[in-house]
Amino acid sequence: MRNVLRTKLDALLDEVLRMATLVEEAVGRSIRSLSDRDAQLARAVIEGDDRIDGLGAEIEEHCLAILALEQPVATDLRVVSTALKIVTDLERIGDYASNIARVTVRLGDQQFLKPLVDIPRMAEVDRRMLRAAIQSFVRRDVDMAYALVREDDEVDALYSQVFRDLLAHMIEDPRTEVVNQATQLIMVARHLERIGDHVANFAEWVVFMVSGERPALN
């Protein structure tokens, strides 16, 4: 019975890893669609969100089946509980990537008010955080999970910078088209800031999985 449980847990970890990889790719593609004003790529990101959600639902079903049939305890129970919680954060990150892609579609081929610099930087930090979170989960590396907090602080600082810059544009040039684009880009930055928060949640659950305690990293 122990071997059966171990096989199921290994399969569960593989599924979570696959979902996290899809989500990380979605974030990268959504920002690339925005930077390149690529509506076709943006629509592909939006359509791909259903696949992420479907995989999340499968993982939740598998978690519940393991709990019901195998009755795991101690660390094994925490692994299943962590997978259930992580799936929720991953689904939300996928939703934010889809929302960013929708901004790409709404903006169309508009020229940007200024070159996009900080928004792509935010996305790169988010993706780096997510990759580290995945590794901490696979390796059960608490130190790596804790290190993600510093990365999230960088995302927050970049968001504040983007907000101030775009607000200044709206004040200096209150034309409707300027205000509309600035508002859309602030939304993108906000989505990226929230992605960082969800990755920090991810890290908290990794610490819980390993130690049994959930620190307030976010």
The structural domains of the chain, with segments of one domain joined by +, span 2-211
pLDDT, tens digit, for every residue of 6-19?
Answer: 999 999 999 999 99
Find the distance separating the first CA and the last CA of the chain, reported in whole Å: 38
Q: Stretch 209-218: mean pLDDT, rounded?
A: 80
Cβ–Cβ under 8 Å, residues 124 and 193: no
Which pair of structure tokens corresponds to residue 198?
């969800």
Is the pLDDT assigned to residue 217 strictly greater than 70? no
Residue 213: per-residue pLDDT: 83
DSSP H helical ranges for the chain: 2-35, 39-70, 74-107, 118-139, 142-172, 176-211
Confidence of residue 218 (pLDDT cuts 50, 70, 90): low
pLDDT, tens digit, for every residue of 86-120?
Answer: 999 999 999 999 999 999 999 999 999 989 999 99
Task: Please give the share of the chain, as a percent, with pLDDT higher than 70.
Answer: 99
pLDDT, tens digit, for every residue of 120-133?
Answer: 999 999 999 999 99
Is the pLDDT assigned to residue 149 strictly greater than 80? no
Task: Please give the share of the chain, as a percent, with pLDDT higher than 90.
Answer: 84
CATH class, range 2-211: mainly alpha
Rounded Cα distance, 56 and 158, in Å = 30
Rounded Cα distance, 207 and 66, in Å = 21
pLDDT, tens digit, for every residue of 46-76?
Answer: 999 999 999 999 999 999 999 999 989 988 9
Element housing 36 (H / E): none
Rounded Cα distance, 26 and 182, in Å = 23
37's CB contacts (< 8 A; 6+ apart) are 104, 107, 108, 109, 110
Average pLDDT of the chain is: 94
Give residue 167's region: left, alpha or beta (phi > 0; psi -120 to 50). Answer: alpha
Is the pLDDT assigned to residue 215 strictly greater than 80? no
- Amino acid identity at 40: Q
Which pair of structure tokens corresponds to residue 48?
């791909």
16-21: Cβ within 8 A, 24+ apart: 16/59, 16/83, 16/86, 16/87, 16/90, 16/137, 17/134, 17/137, 17/138, 18/55, 19/52, 19/55, 19/56, 19/59, 19/87, 19/90, 20/86, 20/90, 20/130, 20/133, 20/134, 20/137, 21/134
